[in-house]
Amino acid sequence: MNTVLAGHGLVKKYGSTTALSGVDVEVGERDSLAIMGPSGSGKSTLLHTLAGIVRPDGGQVLLRGERIDKLGENRLSALRRKRFGFVFQFGQLLPELPAEENVALPLMLEGMPRGQAVERARRWFAPLGLDGLERRRPGQLSGGQAQRVAIARALAVEPDVVFADEPTGALDQTTSTEVIRLLTSVTREQGAALVMVTHDADVAAHCDRVLQVRDGRISNHTQYTVA
């Protein structure tokens, strides 16, 4: 496996709570990893630590072999914008902006002129089944459509890794399947890695591998397909 992102011996404590106690994890190019486990087991903490949102108290996070967990806040946030994409359960689109401008936003934050960013953003609409919805505002989209816009936004910067925390948590079963198929396939086509937290075993089954987290440790690791 061509490793893109790795966490080695990750430890995270909140006061007397140990959210992560020595977790090792790796994801490669075109690789998708689902993180499952009971509520409070440390799934989001693990995802946020790998994504440079939460700093570990022990261990290392490496992006293509380079440590990122000790970077200063400015460099780390620039790295997150450029190299990572994020999809959350809901509430991530700006309600006052049309869909295409929501997708263009991360590119504009990187300094791309508005016209060019919107043009680049529009290219994502057809592959995600969003043709014709470019000018709709988030409030005028269904939950599944809004999640697909969020996926387009995560991918627009052509990130190394896409992180998703319960990306289908607010969707019904049919819509959830559709969204997860697109998320995994488009991420793979881009050559990016996917790290996803989900409670839904059907959703996890669309990923190449599943990590079970329990009390801040990996309790099981299932490989569905041979990469």
Ligand X SMILES: Nc1ncnc2c1ncn2[C@@H]1O[C@H](COP(=O)(O)OP(=O)(O)OP(=O)(O)O)[C@@H](O)[C@H]1O
Q: Minimum CB separation from Mg ion for residue 44, in Å?
A: 3
Identity at 137, one-letter amino acid code: R
**201 sits near ligand X (criterion: CB under 6 A):** no
**Cα–Cα dist 73/92, whole Å:** 22
Could you say which of ligand X, Mg ion, none residue 17 binds, taking C-beta under 5 to 8 angstroms by partner kind?
A: ligand X
**98 sits near ligand X (criterion: CB under 6 A):** no
Assign residue 75 a region (left: φ > 0; alpha: ψ between -120 and 50; beta: otherwise): alpha
Stretch that binds ligand X, among 13-21, 116-124, 149-157, 182-190 (CB under 6 A): 13-21
**Cα–Cα dist 145/69, whole Å:** 34
**95 sits near ligand X (criterion: CB under 6 A):** no
Cβ-count burial of 115 within 10 angstroms (0-12 exposed, 13-18 middle, 19+ buried)? exposed
Q: Among 163, 155, 185, 201, which residue's Cα sits nearest to residue 27?
A: 163
**Cα–Cα dist 77/158, whole Å:** 16
Nearer to ligand X, 14 or 224 (CB): 14
Q: Which of 4, 19, 155, 162 binds ligand X (CB under 6 A)?
A: 19
Q: Which of 32, 45, 168, 184 binds ligand X (CB under 6 A)?
A: 45
**44 sits near ligand X (criterion: CB under 6 A):** yes
Q: What is the dihedral of CA 212, 213, 219, 222, to 10 degrees?
A: 20
- CA 189, distance to chain mean position in Å, is 15
**44 sits near Mg ion (criterion: CB under 5 A):** yes
Contact between 46 and 61 under an 8 Å Cβ cutoff? The reply is: no
Tokens, residue 117: 């960013």
Stretch that binds ligand X, among 34-42, 58-66, 70-78, 139-147 (CB under 6 A): 34-42
**103 sits near ligand X (criterion: CB under 6 A):** no
Nearer to Mg ion, 48 or 206 (CB): 48
Q: Minimum CB separation from Mg ion for residue 199, in Å?
A: 9
**Cα–Cα dist 100/103, whole Å:** 5
**212 sits near ligand X (criterion: CB under 6 A):** no
Nearer to ligand X, 38 or 95 (CB): 38
* Residues at the interface with ligand X (CB under 6 A): 14, 17, 19, 37, 39-45
* Residues at the interface with Mg ion (CB under 5 A): 44
